[in-house]
Structures are given as structure tokens and as C-alpha cells.
Structure 1
Amino acid sequence: MKILYTLGLLLVVATYEVYTLECHMRELDICAASLLLFNQDDDVAQSEDELDIQCSYIREAQQCLQNYTNHCMTPIQRELMDFTSEGSQNLLKDYCTVGSEIRNNYLKNSNCLNEANKEARSCLTDLQAALDAIGNAEFNSRVTTACCGYQRYMECVRETINRKCGADLVNFTQELLRMAVSRLPDIVCSGYEPDSSVCKDALPPPGTPPIGSNSNSPLSRLFSAYFPE
């Protein structure tokens, strides 16, 4: 869940960077601090108390971003940001509500998800390398590179969870991810197969170390902060 929610939040932060003109991005460093704490431990929460602790970090970061939005954006920009973040906000509400179906299912499968989460770190590494490629791509190639990177990440996560936990949990986590980042990437990126020649040409090979803090991609630099090695 921590990777799912943080990915959704990072997409919102990335959109802030594109649309915000009045305020400086340094103001988002405070928001990042909460997520840095949230991601220091690679283990998946496996109890109600651990979930509540994670939720407190997420709520703090979410409120920080909301304050930034209210202070720095025009009404039209705020409406766009609210639309972008709606899925992750709804997911957070269910995830942090005791007795909700999502929370109960998550806790029931937390032991297996914990093992899968550790193995899925390589998926995030490849995703960040893909973000580096987006930063260096020609303008008319960026959608292709982004979609190939997204589809490769999704396939990597599916394979990892299926290997560790089985097909039923794959379906559950896929729905969580779609709720966190919406179904828009699936619609826009339909037809981009990770093993296709188009994607192989667009992306660095799996296992390529990301550039990180020196990347031309702002989102890759954010990943370096939120998912430190």
C-alpha cells in the first residue's frame, strides 16, 4: 500500500510542478519530509496499529499538499489538482478506516504482500530508470516512453505478486493501484507492450541504475527522495 499511495501522490506532485507558477518548489520539501519517514521501512504494515501510524504520515503529507494548492494555485488549477488526486484520496479514506473491506483484505494478505513488496523494489528501480529516459526523450517520444515505462512497471508488479501470493492477490493489488492513480494510464497506454520493439527502443534495459538526483526528470528526482536506497 505504501508504494501504491505514494505513487499516486507523486503523480499529483509532478503535476503541481508543471502547473504552479506563483510558489517555489522548495515549499514542497516540507511535504516530502512526511513521506520520507513513511518510506524509511521497507516492511508492509501488518497490524491495525502499524496501519494507523502509516496513515498519520500520509494524512500529514496530504494536508501539506492541500495547503500548498490553496496558497499557490488559481481556482482552475486547484480544480484540476483535485480531479487528479481524487483516486488517491478515496483510497486513503478506505485504507485508513477500521473495518473497511480494503483494509481487512490488506491485513489478511499482509504477510505475503510484505515478501512481495521487498522483491518489487527492482520494479521501482526500473520505473525510475524509465523516468530518466522520459527526461531525455524528444518531446514527441515522451508519451511512448512514459507508457512503456508504466506498462513495464505494472507487468513487473503483477509477476512479483503472482509468484509470491497468487492470482487473486494480483487482482486485488491491481485494483488498489488503479484507485491510487486512476484508470487513465491504462486507457492512454493501451497497446504499449513492454516486450515490443517500440518499448525496448524507448526504455533502458531492466536493471539499469537510475540517475536519481542528477536526472533531467523532475519526477525521477522526487523518487530519489521518496524511495532512498
Structure 2
Amino acid sequence: MYNFVNDIKCSFAVLSALIITVFTTKVKAEACNFQNFIECAKPLSVLTDSGLTFFNNRQDLEQVCPNLRTAIKCIHSFTRRCMKKEDSQHFREVFRGTGSIVHELCRNGRYQEEYLRHAPCMTQISAENEKCFETYTTSMAKLKPNTYEVEVDAEMVDVTSELKKKRAIADEGIKNVCCAFQQYMECSTTAVRDKCGDDTAEFSRRFLNRMSASMLNVHCTEYGKRQCGLEAPIEAWPASSSSSYQSAVALVTSLLTAQLLLR
């Protein structure tokens, strides 16, 4: 799994699915529509270009990090301008771990050195991880029409009933996104363990935990393996644990559109 390019691609799909489900009805004006958001952070799409190789030296990081920093600033600006205060605060909390990761990844220091030490092995398993990701993107493509297009029946008189209906559809969409990602993680976990060993797997767990723990705690706490119908039932996604392999959902692309939507 742990070709980080594909981790980022997966982040795109999961986060944007949740973002669309939770936030797109809350932006304030035409200048704040989702397309504006996509354009705001679109430079980061370079991270998911199919021909991109893994960043395995400082020179590579020096080239991409300015775009990452710019995207983060753009994202924060978007939330300030386009969301109500409560929604903006919630969104920034979800995004906090991702910003921290980018900050450490893009400066010389112990964390960057550790990242680069594991990079060579992670570049060797892209083919295995791509198979996992193809299955995942197929699931996401099936979810898109049902999850995001919620129509209101104009003849409905019972407003409360209609709101409950919309909420149920949104909740089901979030569950489907979380479970699709859970399946991806199960598939890709095997790849990193087989090819790179425990040390790289542990680094990946810590990396992904920091990026995604906040978002998962908010939206995916109810959907562990048991709830998603996978084998070997375990507890739902844990709050914070370096031994948790289920938590991965965002890099700088937390607020970017999915790889699926960019194509």
C-alpha cells in the first residue's frame, strides 16, 4: 500500500466524499462553490499524476513542498470565507493533523529523514497497491451518484420526514465511504508488511494516524471491520494509537477533490 502517492490518491477519494456529504450544503455564496475549492487547491493534483514517482530525496520534496504549503493556505482561506464559523472550526480541526504532517515533511529534520529512509522500499510496491486502489476506486465510483445527489420531493408536506430521509442518505453515504476505505486498508496492509517489513509498516501507521485521526474520530468511529462486514471483527476506528492500521485519510489533500473528480 505504502507508495505514498497512492496513499494520497486514496486520501483524495475518501476525504472529498466525506467533505461533499458533510459540507457542500453549508457554503455561503456562489464564489464559494465546490468548483472554486477545487481550483483553489488543484496544484496538488500533481501528487496523483499517474507517471509520478515517489519523492525519495530532498530535492523532490523541495519541488513539491511550495505547492503543498500554498494549497494549505488556500484551503484555510476558503474555509474562512465560505463557511459559517462553527463549520469552519470543525473543518479546521479535522484538517489539523494533516497540516502538521506537511509542516514536518517539508522541513529538514528528523521526521523528514525518517520518511526518506523508508521511501525506497515503498516505491517498489506501487503495482501491488494499485490493484488495491483500483478496487477501491470502483467502489467509490458506484457510490458517487447515490451519495451526493439527494433530491427533495417537492410534493412532500412532512418537512421533518424529508429531513430525516436526507440525513439517513447522508449517514449511509458516510458509512459506505468509511467501509470502502476499510477494505482498501485491509488489502494494502498486506503489501507493506510483505515487501517492507515491520519498521516501514510502523512508520506508515504513525504517519497515517497523525494525518487522519481527527477526521476518522469525527466521521468513522462507528464503522470498524465488524460494522463493515469484514472478517476478523475488531473495535471501530480507534481515537489515537500507533498500532492502529485503519486510520488513513488525508494529506494536504484533505480538502481537495478526489482523484476521481479531477479526472
Q: TM-score range by the shorter chain?
A: 0.7 to 0.9
Q: Bigger radius of gyration, 1 or 2?
A: 2
Deviation at 1:90?
A: 1.1
Greater CA deviation, 30-39 or 133-142? 133-142
State the shift of 1:125 in Å: 2.1
Matched-pair contact (CA < 8 Å) for 1:124–1:153: yes
Pick closer, same or farther for the CA change 1:170–1:3 going to 2, 3 Å: same
Between the two structures, name the one with larger relative contact order (CA 8 Å, sep ≥ 6). Answer: 2
In structure 2, how many angstroms separate the alpha carbons of the residues matched to 1:141 and 1:48? 42
Read off the aligned partner of 1:162 and give its amino acid letter.
R
Alignment of 1:32-181 (within 5 A): 32-40=41-49, 41-100=51-110, 102-135=111-144, 136=146, 139=169, 141-181=172-212
SS at match of 2:177: helix
Corresponding residue for residue 189 of structure 1 = 223
- Looking at structure 1, the residues matched to 75 and 9 of structure 2 have their Cα atoms a distance apart, in angstroms, of 13
**Range that drifts further, 164-173 or 26-35:** 26-35
Instruction: Give the aligned CA root-mean-square deviation in angstroms.
Output: 3.0
Q: Given the two structures, how large is their TM-score scaled by the length of structure 2?
A: 0.66
Check conservation: 1:87, 1:179, Cα contact below 8 A. Answer: yes
1: CA distance between counterparts of 2:209 and 2:191? 17
Specify the code of the residue in structure 1 equivalent to 2:24: E
* AA partner of residue 108 (structure 2): V
Aligned length: 205
CA contact (8 A) 1:44 1:117 kept: no
Q: How far apart are 1:38 and its partner, in Å?
A: 2.8
Contact 1:8 1:88 in 2 (8 A): no
In structure 2, the CA distance between the partners of 1:30 and 1:24, relative to structure 1 (3 Å rule), is same
Residue pair 2:27, 2:83 contacting (<8 A) in 1 also: yes
Change (3 A) 1:5 1:19: farther
Q: 1:43 to 1:152 in 2, by over 3 A?
A: same
- TM-score (structure 1 length as normaliser): 0.75
Output one character per residue of 1:6-63: Cα deviation in whole Å (capped at 9) or x when no partner: 6556626545435324221121232342112232243111111111222122112222
User: Structure 2, unaligned stretches of length 5 or more?
Assistant: 148-167, 232-254
- State the partner residue of 1:17: 24
Q: Which is further off, 8-17 or 144-153? A: 8-17
What percentage of aligned pairs have identical amino acids?
Answer: 18
